[in-house]
Chain A
Amino acid sequence: MRSQDINNFNSSRVLEKTSNSLFVKNIDEQPFFQRLLPLPWEIWPSEARLLLALLGFWSISGLFILGSASWWVANKEMGDGIYFVKRQLIWLLASWSFVWVTISISLRKWLKVSKICLIICLFLIASTLIYGSTINGSSRWLIIGPIRLQPSELVKPFVILQAANLFGQWKRVKADQKVFWLGLFGVLILLILKQPNLSTAALIGMLLWLMAVASGIRFRSLLSTAFLGITLGASSILINDYQKLRVISFLNPWEDPEGNGYQLIQSLLAIGSGGLFGEGYGLSTQKLLYLPFLSTDFIFAVFAEEFGFAGSLMLIIFFILIAFLGLRICLRCRNNYSKLIASGCSTLLVGQAIMHLAVASGSMPTTGLPLPLISYGGNSLLSSLIISGLLIRCSLESTGLIGGLSIKKKLS
């Protein structure tokens, strides 16, 4: 089945439903939350419904995992065992309202604002280098009143949108535009590297490359870009002492178990202690301050210790499910932009999770990266949920009932 056929099939199926239910009912008879939705719930594609349900499940279980991982530290340092959970919950509610905002705005508008938003974020990231507050050796945060903004997290959705803008019409874009935007992405990555935040920089680099792959650019140029990127990364590692140490300690953590290898060893010990079925929820021992950054960068180690291989397997299968849903949404999308947005969103969500797991399990050099919707951190939560919202919006627009100008006219 070609994609065009799928699109036709989709909209005909949706319209069929629509004619039965939507147009018969008066809009005032619907419950208020239905009126708030961009598209009536009945005609949501099954992917979007499932995705929403999965996101809800993900958020709530993420809160529980964070609760278990953080209560000891919270109790010790803040005197309140649910200190982090409370803050995370507030951020979660705020972020979910952003999900609603996101799915209410058409992709077309998103694509329009993405350019200026990306440039604003770029300036914010640049300003972290000057005004940023330094935590754990890197200045990633801008403090505005009670809120700590992390522009390198917030830039992620706009990177996806702008990359879709660029790669979606790659053949049509003029060379100077290509150079400008690619250069801007390069500057972005370099700025994030400068913070230093190796992991986010690598994540964004890989995301851009994978989106380029998805967009259908020739493999030859893709491979050469990849080669260039790897060369740049390798030289960065060789120049930067802190990164070099990370890599060396990643290759053999047991060499310096009290120093550079400490984080990774503690994480491996936690994961290994889990065994097949784990210690049980809340019963991790490694979280008793043995693990560093245990509510952010190493939260998976706590999860794996408490839920064992069975739990880890379930989590990974969950990510495969998300990736598969992302693929389904991609394939259903009606234009190249939304296909690329959907692909980028699912790649970022799952890719970030993959990198987090890989770091915790010692498959990748130790770099701090939050596990989406699970790790503590409002900015990461917000950015992950906006990205999820974009994915849902892609699915909604794949029905052909919203987003396109003709459909909108038909509905009004």
Chain B
Amino acid sequence: MKAFELIQPTSLDAALEALPGARDTKARDRVKILAGGQDLLGELKEHLIEPQTLVNLKSIPGLDQIEHRDDGSLRLGALVTLARIEEDRALRERFALLAEAAGAVASVQIRNAGTLGGNLCQRPRCWYYRHEQAVCIKKGGSECFAYGGLNKYNAILGGGPSYIVHPSDVAPALVALEAQAVIRGKRGERQVALEQFFTLPSEGSVLRENVLTSEEILTHVIVPAQSDAPWRSTYIKFRERGSYDFALSAVALRLSMDGDKVRDARLVLGGVAPIPWRCEKAEKAMVGRKLDAQTAEFVGKLALEGAEPLEHNAYKILLTQGLITKALRKLAN
């Protein structure tokens, strides 16, 4: 990797100070934020980015707290490691979906170092993007090589002009839990629904995957108290290689129930779109239905409506429908 200056601020204000202004678009790549480093180090070693400065958030105290608040909500610092989310007993009991998703990330070693904020802000894994020589549209080029290339792992939903998939496991889980992102910038703090945090390549800049500007830091994630009615949730991730891998497809499902019928549902897919893919039509259609095989088939069809597979990834439709069936069955029992 190229040599860089490491700044170790001890406060968020000092960290923000080190970031370039939002309008200084060229400076965007000169300064990068470091948390667990599990993605950033790879980008540096592969020379996908060559920043002059890294701002290390780990030197800032207090960003690694898990707070179970009295109102039933959960406030997570951006530096909480994935391993702690996976293992926190109260969190496991109250937000199974999130703990399952954190536990499904990569390997034990990566979960021990990787952080919540880093996981949400990680860059795509597409092998064209990750190849220094392939100057694709995500790296300032003009073409998405995956579109007409080897696209087995790419998007079937929401693609174009880039066909990456968002690699995060915790993102679909948090969107299903209606989480909020807390963002600090030079001009103060803002809060956005995590669902709005992620951007499609066709909406925002194709060079980014979220709404963060270069002068902002994701500091916390707030998971609101869930429904008063009995609710249940699960995260099912399908990996080509179980030992450690990104999702070929994943299903985050949260349901609240009226007896054996669905009162309210939230269904978000991972690994199939450039953002955590919410299936609102399928969610609405589930309301009032029992969790049986017919519902699963129906929901599977609606959830994948509009899917446009590329040459090598039509299997993702079948796979995702299979995972939806499994998720519904799991929550029915």
A binds B: no
B interface, CB within 8 angstroms of A: none
